[in-house]
Amino acid sequence: MLETILQNVINALQWGSFYALIALGYTLVYGVLQLINFAHGDVFMVGAYIAFFVATFLLGIAGMPGWMALALTIPLTMILTSAVGVTLERIAYRPLRRKGANRLYVVITALMCGLILEHANLAVLGASRKAFPPLITETVYNVGGVTFTNLKLGVIFTAFAVFIFLHWVVTKTRVGMAMRAISYDKFAVPLMGIPMDQIIVVTFVLGSGFAGLAGLLFAMSYPVLEPYMGALIGWKAFIAAVVGGIGDIRGAFLGGFLLGAVEILVVAVFPSSYRDLFSFSVLLIILVFKPTGLFGIAKTTKI
């Protein structure tokens, strides 16, 4: 009995790590820009594909051994995925921000960019799924009836490490302070001499970079890639971020793991086709009762 519980806990932590990593990106951008970056889930997908190409190249053409390829793939994927995120910001969101456009228009643009990414992938690479090459040998450990692999541990460890890093950035560095300042009052910030555009770029770099990392880890754990893989995960991670309390990275982190826990639990008890039904329902119920999320602060309207 205890073993099954522990097993589910490990699975939930691993599965939730992906949601948490992606949710962190959503919440960073929302906290600073009040923008739901609907394209973020697809940035995750792009990250996975970038990882695929980089890894295939390094392993195949460059002929590197697995661990070395991995060591190089991680930074390369993160950098390239950040580039994608920043490009999106530059050509789609910034012009609208300059014009002072209504938030709704930026959100719609984000939604459309996500669609473009998905279908551009489909058009260029075709509908056939890609198999991610194995980079490391998975060793399975068995401790008292609970099985897990080194990969699973790596994923969980990475998620926590990223969170601690981001928490440090947001609370202890000047960049982080600027990010928080923008989220409180974006008109005062440039007046105080803070280069808002640069801070926003940093936000996107962080958010997209970690989405790319999540993409790489996901591809390693579930080595089949297809263009729509970001869509569903992206939506769910976003909802998880909101349930946690959007704008607060603790909320995103917690929300991601909460969702992971719910899904693993559901699959343990019910047939797997009920998974999405339950996750969305639970999220919906939490939102109805606590609309600002678990960590969120209610905003009062001033009359």
Partner 1 sequence: MLRRYSVPMLLILAGGLLTYCAYEEMLGLYTLSVLMFMGINIILSTSLNLVNGYMGEFSCGHAGFMCVGAYVSSILGVLLFTKDKVFGEPWLDPSLALYAFPLIILAGGAAAAVAGLLVAIPSYKTRGDYLAIITIAANYIIISLIQNIDTVGGSRGFMGMKSVISSMEDAADLPWMVIWVFIFTVFTVWVLRRYVSSTFGKGVSAICQDEVAAEIMSVNTNKIKTISFMVSSGLAGIGGALFAYVIGYVNPGSFNILKSTEVLVMVYLGGMGSLSGSVLSAVLFTVLLEALRPLQIIKWIVIPLLLVVLMQFRPEGIMGNKELGDIFPWLKRFYRFK
Residues within the interface to partner 1 (CB under 8 A): 36, 92, 95-96, 101-102, 104-109, 111-113, 115-116, 118-120, 122-123, 231, 235, 238-239, 242, 246, 273-274, 276-277, 280-281, 283-284, 287-288, 291-292, 301, 303
Q: What's the closest the beta carbon of residue 211 comes to partner 1, in angstroms?
A: 19
Q: How far is the CB of 268 from partner 1 (least distance, A)?
A: 17
How far is 93 from 55, CA to CA, in rounded Å? Answer: 31
In whole angstroms, the minimum distance from the beta carbon of 71 to partner 1 comes to: 35
Nearest to 209 by CA among 34, 28, 38, 35: 28
Q: How far is the CB of 138 from partner 1 (least distance, A)?
A: 32
CB of 95 to partner 1, least distance (A): 6
> Least distance (Å) from partner 1 to the CB of residue 64?
35
Residues 66, 134: contact at Cβ < 8 Å? yes
Question: Which residues neighbour 1 within 8 Å (Cβ) at sequence distance 6 or greater?
Answer: none
Q: List the one residue out of 31, 7, 273, 303 whose CA is nearest residue 140.
A: 7
Which of residues 39 and 264 has its CB atom nearest to partner 1 in the complex?
A: 39
Q: Is residue 50 within a helix (H) or strand (E), and if so which, with residue range? A: helix 40-56
Decide whether 112 or 143 has the Cβ nearer to partner 1: 112
Q: Tell me whether residue 111 or residue 265 sits nearer to partner 1 (CB atom).
A: 111
Handedness of CA 197, 73, 26, 125 (dihedral sign): positive
Residue 278 phi, psi dihedral angles, 5° rounding: -65, -45
Asked if 149 contacts 217 with a C-beta cutoff of 8 angstroms, the reply is no
Which helix (H) or strand (E) segment holds residue 131: the answer is: strand 130-131
Specify the residue, 216 or 266, whose C-beta has the smaller distance to partner 1: 266
DSSP code string of 169-217:
HHHHSHHHHHHHHHHH-TTHHHHTT--HHHHHHHHHHHHHHHHHHHHHH
Of residues 142 and 273, the one with the C-beta less far from partner 1: 273
Report the residue number, 90 or 167, with the smaller CB distance to partner 1.
Answer: 90
